[in-house]
Structure 1
Amino acid sequence: MKHIESESNTSLKQWKKLHTKKEREKSGTFLLEGPHLIEEAITSGAKLQHVIVEENFEINEAWLKEEFTLWSVPAKLMKQLSETEKPQGIIAVCEMMDQSEELIKKGGRYLLIDGVQDPGNLGTIIRTADSAGLDGVFLGEGTADLYNGKTVRSTQGSLFHLPIVKANLLDIIERCKEHDLPVLSTSLQNSVDMRETPEVDGFALIMGNEGAGVQEILQQQSTLNVKIPIFGNAESLNVSVATGILLYELQRNRT
């Protein structure tokens, strides 16, 4: 185990830069915070480069079989490295996952995310997609960074459980249609109640920006526009809540 005492340590400075998207993309790495996320990463086979623990933190001995460099830091430096109010005593530097757009297949179930900007919403949506048993998630232009600390924490480890790919959503829609997958878009105009959607085997569901919804050009390319009925006085639903409702309805309605 290596020990760091100084704020001017080169490695510490580099890890702190990973709080920015620019440095994450440049290095191909991101930060994981807390035992749960690190356990999920190791279990899934993700590559950890470094694990940094606060002094006196008891690391899971099984993790020591992994090929990473172990460091210890005092509490004051852990607090600087952490992005949470109450650091959990352990942070890892993890390599980004290499995902391919070639995962689309006949009968598959996919989620297309169009411009969801809030990292917490994005993380929750990914966790929901994982829970609903989807085969992949595609992130369109304008969507929050998958490796933003808040996004990562909100996934609760689900980012390691299914393929998540940045992509041009128009291209993805075309590929889905080539595999006979109905493409469903959320919309309030020219749409049907989600309870009236036909039975499907696979599907691709498009969820849109928190305020503006799905872009019109994507709606036009979809097979069917759907909406969730509102029974009370609320104007709309949070996008992550709406995603959960629709995914589980579509799963229930599979042939």
Structure 2
Amino acid sequence: MNIVITSAKNEKIKALKKLHQRKYRKQTNTFLIEGDHLIEEALVSDWLTLEIIVSEEGTVPEIAKHLPVTEVTRQVFKELSFTASPQGVMAVVEIKTEEAIDGEFIVLLDAVQDPGNTGTIIRTADAAGADGVILGSGCVDLYNDKVIRSTQGSIFHLPVLHADLDEEADRLKKAGYTVWATALEKAENYKNLTVPQKTAVILGNEGAGVKDSLLEKADERVTIPIFGKAESLNVSIAAGILLYYLNN
């Protein structure tokens, strides 16, 4: 008979709860995911799932039956959960180290801080057939729970890494990529440009846009025309328009 953990002060539970913080995710090289869908996506990928945590009212997905399971009470699970209405199951996943991303179509994010935007862009990049996403300095942590949930599992489908975008832009240009950067001024309507064979597109911070040093490295500054009175588009919406154009 399995022992059910009944106290949030249990050492194991305290260690798991620390994974809500970026510094402990980095220290342990692990992060938490919650819910059947994300767990199933992780388990059919090449990421390593280490353990399942399940509440008394939750169930272990069939695909995860081979993994170690920690059972906890409903109240203890609430202490670990990221959501208001927990599904009752979560998993510990090992962070996968990605090397340089290659391919024909790469997305770079410059200081995109909103977790929902970041996760949605990763999901959109996956859907649009991108080969990977590179998060620059100032971006929200990839393993933030809101980012992970917004990706809807796409975090497990394509390479995503944190890196210095100035260095990455130089590397990609040397490798034959044409670099596009989004801008509101001194920029060309994206529809007037021919899609290069190898493209890296830089999307910028929600308020400040793409920083000057990256704009200077770009081969093309591109803009999406606005026909109404809105000042600008949400960065994840802009990403959707550009990424599908680039893989049309």
Q: Structure 1-normalised TM-score?
A: 0.94
Alignment of 1:148 onto 2:149? no
**Is the 8 Å Cα contact of residues 187 and 220 (structure 2) preserved in structure 1?**
yes
**Is the 8 Å Cα contact of residues 112 and 140 (structure 1) preserved in structure 2?**
yes
Long gaps (5+) in structure 1? none
Q: Secondary structure at the match of 1:231?
A: coil
Per-residue Cα deviation, 1:77-133 (whole angstroms, up to 9, x for no partner)? 1111001111111011111111001x325xx10001000011111001100100011
Q: Give the Cα separation in 1 of the matches to 2:168 and 2:39.
A: 31
Q: What is residue 17 of structure 1 aligned with on the other side? A: 18
Count of matched residue pairs: 247
Q: What is residue 82 of structure 1 aligned with on the other side? A: 81
**Is the 8 Å Cα contact of residues 59 and 89 (structure 2) preserved in structure 1?**
no
1:71 shift after superposition: 1.1
Alignment of 1:220 onto 2:245? no
Q: Secondary structure at the match of 1:206?
A: strand
Q: Give the Cα separation in 1 of the matches to 2:46 and 2:10.
A: 29
1:2 shift after superposition: 4.5
1:249 shift after superposition: 1.1
Per-residue Cα deviation, 1:128-177 (whole angstroms, up to 9, x for no partner)? 10001111111100000000011111110000101111111111111111
Alignment of 1:160-239 (within 5 A): 160-239=156-235
Give the CA RMSD over aligned residues. 1.1
**Is the 8 Å Cα contact of residues 181 and 218 (structure 2) preserved in structure 1?**
yes
Long gaps (5+) in structure 2? none
1:226 shift after superposition: 0.3
Q: Give the Cα separation in 1 of the matches to 2:218 and 2:160.
A: 21
Q: What is residue 36 of structure 2 aligned with on the other side? A: 35
**Is the 8 Å Cα contact of residues 104 and 175 (structure 1) preserved in structure 2?**
no
| Aligned residue identity for 2:47 | A
Q: Give the Cα separation in 2 of the matches to 1:83 and 1:165.
A: 23
Alignment of 1:128-147 (within 5 A): 128-147=124-143
Q: Give the Cα separation in 1 of the matches to 2:63 and 2:137.
A: 39
Q: Give the Cα separation in 1 of the matches to 2:231 and 2:52.
A: 45
Q: Structure 2-normalised TM-score?
A: 0.96
Q: What is residue 97 of structure 2 aligned with on the other side? A: 98
Q: Give the Cα separation in 1 of the matches to 2:168 and 2:28.
A: 27
Percent identity, aligned pairs only, is 46
**Is the 8 Å Cα contact of residues 117 and 209 (structure 1) preserved in structure 2?**
yes
Q: Secondary structure at the match of 2:71?
A: strand
Q: Give the Cα separation in 2 of the matches to 1:161 and 1:179.
A: 24
| Aligned residue identity for 1:170 | D
Alignment of 1:122 onto 2:118? yes
